[in-house]
């Protein structure tokens, strides 16, 4: 009988989440060393190359492959130079014998939802085996592997390589010897010793360097690619994005097609094109791209949420319900998706389920003022003015309630004409609590 994987306790789950949060925080501050130390790159590279090949690589060669793999993670998680990023929210759940940690990464006004795949290490701790960008479904581990090129390691002839390393050094020694022979007889005896001493220094360097190079070549039966190679589709994706931003959709289509032909993954591309169509107000085209993103061999889970939003905009909460449920199941929780679920549940008359989603969203951001704001926005979007007011009143004791800002916030447009909301906005601000007098 096959043994079942050991369950992950809540304490172990929190430990895994802490490792992921510390690694992400360091990377977002432009200090990726902690991320690199926590990454299990050997677990990615060994299956790619095969156990026998990995075992026969020298530590220098393994280090070169690890360094190239690290760059792929660092480039995706590094913040813009203008401002460091931060973790906006986090959650964790058991994932087989490991853990999945969901982190919302904030870069200025942009959010990136990510899933950190955590596995137990041999010492009982936790290592990061992959980081997945949740909505497009992009694996940074897969990108790190692909960045090594189609043939990162190839069989080599150690003797031939040793000869190639030895010949330039031997040539250098021959030149030094020739110079010594030419000048030795012409110099007076007292200067010949100086000539020999002067020539011995570079000769010794050539000998030591050559011996080390030959020894290294004989010890390395495989040759390792030293540099990152850009995926063949990267150029076409960049050009297609530029065309989309410029509004040149006739040019963007063929460029996206060339990216797909060069090997780009269809799911993330269809998802990205759907977002572009949504932003320019073409709901029908966006819907088709999002459906394509879900039908691709490697689907983009974010398309579930976008389709749910499109269904909700048409008043089809019954259609949005299974879509948002599937999104949360495949991509994990986040405040926006849970808010959307709460709205859908309220529209369907399922108040307990809506309250549960609101509570989960508040817990995800740590409760407090941020949680109260999330609940108020959910209530407003569902046209529940009384619930929005009740949530916002929780901010009054701390002085965090700005009625003028609420009046201009578009999130509260659905309740803008509700008498309860108007009365709340017209109330005089509550007096701040008195400052206690200093004790003598």
Per-residue pLDDT tens digits for 6-32: 577 888 899 999 999 999 999 888 888
Q: Token pair for residue 382?
A: 């569902």
CATH code of the domain covering residue 54: 3.10.450.710
Same domain? For 171 and 276 the reply is: no
Pairing of strands 110-120, 98-107: antiparallel
Given a contact cutoff of 8 angstroms between Cβ atoms, the answer to whether 103 and 116 are in contact is: yes
Tell me if 435 is assigned to some domain. Answer: no
Q: Domain range spanning residue 189?
A: 157-219
Decide which of 54 and 105 is more confident: 105
Q: Of 131, 150, 169, which residue constitutes the final position of a domain?
A: 150
The residue written with tokens 């030094």 in the block is: 176
Same domain? For 192 and 320 the reply is: no
The residue written with tokens 């959307």 in the block is: 340
Residue 269 — pLDDT band, cuts 50, 70, 90? Answer: very high
Whether the per-residue pLDDT at 83 is higher than 60: the answer is yes
27's CB contacts (< 8 A; 6+ apart) are 34, 35, 73, 74, 77, 78
Same domain? For 296 and 392 the reply is: yes
Q: Token pair for residue 387?
A: 């619930």
How many distinct structural domains can be found in the chain? 3
Lowest mean pLDDT segment, chosen from 90-104, 313-327, 388-402:
388-402
Q: What is the reported pLDDT for 14?
A: 92
Given a contact cutoff of 8 angstroms between Cβ atoms, the answer to whether 415 and 383 are in contact is: yes
Same domain? For 247 and 395 the reply is: yes
87's CB contacts (< 8 A; 6+ apart) are 21, 24, 25, 28, 103, 104, 105, 106
Per-residue pLDDT of 333-343, as tens digits, reads 999 899 899 99
Whether the per-residue pLDDT at 304 is higher than 90: the answer is yes
Q: What is the radius of gyration, based on Cα positions, of the chain?
A: 31
Same domain? For 243 and 102 the reply is: no
Tell me if 337 is assigned to some domain. Answer: yes
Same domain? For 161 and 251 the reply is: no
- Which of 36-40, 63-67, 142-146 is modeled with the greatest confidence? 36-40
Q: What is the reported pLDDT for 290?
A: 96
Lowest mean pLDDT segment, chosen from 160-164, 241-245, 277-281:
160-164
The residue written with tokens 């879509």 in the block is: 323
Same domain? For 261 and 391 the reply is: yes
| Residue 179: half-sphere exposure toward Cβ, Cα within 13 Å | 13
Mean pLDDT of 286-315: 95
Q: What is the reported pLDDT for 434?
A: 53
Q: Token pair for residue 84?
A: 């460091």
Nearest CA-CA partner of 61 in 158, 135, 180: 158
Distance between CA 142 and CA 132 in Å, rounded?
Answer: 9
Tell me if 433 is assigned to some domain. Answer: no
Same domain? For 240 and 344 the reply is: yes
Decide which of 440 and 113 is more confident: 113
Tell me if 228 is assigned to some domain. Answer: no
389's CB contacts (< 8 A; 6+ apart) are 376, 420, 421, 424
Q: Of 191, 219, 247, which residue constitutes the final position of a domain?
A: 219
302's CB contacts (< 8 A; 6+ apart) are 134, 135, 136, 137, 271, 293, 327, 331
Share of the chain above pLDDT 90, in %: 30
Q: What is the reported pLDDT for 387?
A: 87
Same domain? For 137 and 26 the reply is: yes
Residue 310 — pLDDT band, cuts 50, 70, 90? Answer: very high
Decide which of 48 and 95 is more confident: 95
Given a contact cutoff of 8 angstroms between Cβ atoms, the answer to whether 271 and 307 are in contact is: no
Tell me if 84 is assigned to some domain. Answer: yes
Q: What is the reported pLDDT for 212?
A: 66
Same domain? For 294 and 404 the reply is: yes
Q: What is the reported pLDDT for 3?
A: 39
Given a contact cutoff of 8 angstroms between Cβ atoms, the answer to whether 225 and 153 are in contact is: yes
Same domain? For 213 and 238 the reply is: no
* Global confidence as pTM: 0.76
Share of the chain above pLDDT 70, in %: 82
Per-residue pLDDT of 183-197, as tens digits, reads 767 777 777 677 667
Distance between CA 82 and CA 79 in Å, rounded?
Answer: 8
Tell me if 224 is assigned to some domain. Answer: no
Tell me if 347 is assigned to some domain. Answer: yes
Same domain? For 272 and 198 the reply is: no
Distance between CA 36 and CA 30 in Å, rounded?
Answer: 12
Q: Of 194, 219, 244, which residue constitutes the final position of a domain?
A: 219
CATH code of the domain covering residue 334: 1.25.40.10
Decide which of 19 and 379 is more confident: 19
């Amino acid at each position: 009988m096959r043994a079942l994987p050991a369950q992950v306790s809540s304490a172990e789950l929190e430990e895994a989440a802490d490792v992921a949060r510390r690694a992400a925080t360091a990377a977002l501050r432009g200090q990726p060393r902690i991320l690199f130390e926590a990454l299990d790159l050997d677990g990615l590279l060994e299956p790619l190359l095969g156990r026998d090949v990995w075992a026969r690589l020298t530590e220098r060669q393994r280090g070169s492959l690890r360094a190239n793999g690290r760059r792929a993670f660092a480039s995706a998680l590094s913040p813009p130079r203008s401002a460091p990023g931060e973790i906006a929210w986090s959650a964790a759940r058991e994932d087989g014998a490991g853990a999945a940690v969901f982190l919302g990464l904030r870069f200025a006004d942009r959010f990136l939802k990510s899933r950190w795949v955590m596995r137990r290490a041999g010492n009982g701790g936790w290592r990061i085996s992959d980081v997945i960008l949740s909505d497009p479904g992009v694996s940074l581990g897969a990108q790190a592997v692909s960045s090594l090129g189609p043939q990162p390691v190839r069989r080599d002839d150690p003797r031939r390589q040793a000869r190639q390393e030895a010949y330039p050094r031997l040539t250098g020694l021959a030149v030094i010897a020739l110079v010594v022979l030419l000048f030795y007889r012409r110099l007076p005896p007292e200067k010949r010793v100086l000539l020999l001493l002067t020539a011995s220094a570079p000769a010794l360097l050539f000998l030591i360097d050559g011996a080390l190079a030959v020894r290294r070549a004989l010890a390395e039966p495989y040759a390792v690619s030293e540099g990152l190679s850009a995926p063949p589709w990267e150029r076409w994706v960049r050009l297609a994005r530029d065309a989309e931003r410029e509004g040149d959709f006739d040019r963007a289509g063929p460029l996206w097609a060339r990216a797909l032909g060069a090997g780009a993954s269809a799911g993330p591309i269809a998802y990205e094109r759907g977002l572009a169509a949504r932003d320019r107000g073409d709901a029908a085209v966006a819907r088709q791209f999002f459906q394509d993103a879900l039908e691709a061999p490697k689907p983009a889970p974010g398309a579930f949420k976008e389709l749910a939003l499109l269904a909700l905009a048409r008043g089809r909460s019954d259609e949005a319900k299974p879509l948002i449920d599937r999104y949360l199941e495949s991509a994990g929780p986040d405040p926006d998706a849970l808010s959307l679920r709460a709205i859908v549940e309220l529209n369907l008359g399922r108040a307990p389920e809506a309250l549960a989603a609101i509570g989960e969203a508040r817990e995800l951001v740590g409760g407090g003022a941020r949680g109260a704001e999330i609940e108020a926005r959910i209530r407003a979007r569902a046209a529940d003015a009384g619930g929005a007011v009740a949530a916002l009143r929780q901010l009054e004791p701390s002085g965090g309630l700005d009625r003028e800002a609420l009046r201009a916030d578009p999130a509260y447009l659905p309740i803008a004409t509700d008498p309860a909301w108007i009365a709340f906005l017209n109330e005089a601000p509550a007096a701040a609590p008195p400052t206690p007098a200093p004790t003598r």
